[in-house]
Amino acid sequence: MRSDYIARMDEELSRTVKAGLIHENPQTHEVEADDAVRAALAERFGLPGIARLRGDFTLRHERSGVIAATLKMRARVTQVCVISLEPFETSIEEEAELRFVPSEAVPEDEEEEFLPESMEGPDELPYYNGMIDIGAALAEQLALALDPYPRKPGAELPPEASDDSAHPFAGLKARFTKPE
């Protein structure tokens, strides 16, 4: 069975919109994650918690079934500091431009070449069976917005971490350094 006929419905945050109902006039949609969804997403992303996740979408039809979207996302997440290993809360407010493209228009088995110019412009997300999943897009944008090395405000490395003598190769450096 081709993947074109299977819509992915196992997302924690699935909110679908029929692409065929989006015409000339832009549509607005609000997606807010409830407690259970936020807990599932926190587990999926390896976070201690997500206190808030909301996305406001503006959808408009472009051409040939392509739907352009503007997303305003607001989230409050708990992350673990990479320095102190303490959990801390942080706010995320981002805007993103997305394009939902019919799955038929996405080439199959074609390896995409990642060039700097291919990274420009809005992200393109395929949709299946005429249904756009703006909830899944919101969850994906949250994952992209998370800091991979979160640092609690005010957290600093201990002095011994920046001391050159504590470096594992300090002994070799001292041995092979020529005296001046």
Read off the pLDDT of residues 112-160 as tens digits, 9 standing for 90 and up: 565 555 556 677 888 888 899 999 999 999 999 999 999 998 888 777 6
pTM above 0.85, yes or no: no
Enumerate the domain spans of the chain.
Answer: 3-176
With a cut of 60, say whether residue 108 has pLDDT above it: yes
> Average pLDDT of the chain?
82
Stretch 27-47: mean pLDDT, rounded?
93
- Residue whose structure tokens are 């899944």: 136
